[in-house]
A = this chain, B = another copy of it.
């Protein structure tokens, strides 16, 4: 885009918005035009909400979730079952399971999967904390809710091996999850059903 079309403030906004997933340069321009039309109703509030979130939100040092408190609301909730920890790849997967009301225990967010191709090793993921948590006396089940992708399943097998020495039951989601499917794209019903019929690994 020709740098002289709009001022540098607008150009910078277009450039930053076009870095969001699903927004290319053209849709970023449309988004900026929309924001410019709704300066008071949308642009200002969005600026504040972003600044607020950027300032307040941090990663939970227990589970890897994001929240304004550490530990996060899920880790801190007394009514959530401390006996069961559900391991997910990303916060998006955690949100998907929460939307499906699939699980009443706590989570552990790895922050990705092992990947030979991308050079992701166990120490690059949020795993050490999981082995510690799994060893706590109140924990009786670890649900491996990883994506049904090659890397997701490789990571699940790795975790099952590492957790084998600990006195917990390891389960994984039922094969309701389609092969190659990503949790965040599943409808809530499928996800809840797969969760209910989870089985020992």
Contacts and interface: CB of A to CB of B under 8 A. Distances in A.
Q: Count the copies.
A: 2
B22 A52 contact: no
A43 B54 contact: yes
B22 A50 contact: no
Given A66-B10, A73-B7, A95-B29, A22 B22 contact: yes
Interface residues of A, number: 55
A35 B55 CA distance: 12
A60 to B, nearest CB: 11
A66 B43 CA distance: 14
A30 interface: yes
Contacts of A31: 20-23
Interface string A26-37: 010111011110
Given A67-B7, A91-B33, A13 B53 contact: yes
A179 interface: no
B13 A21 contact: no
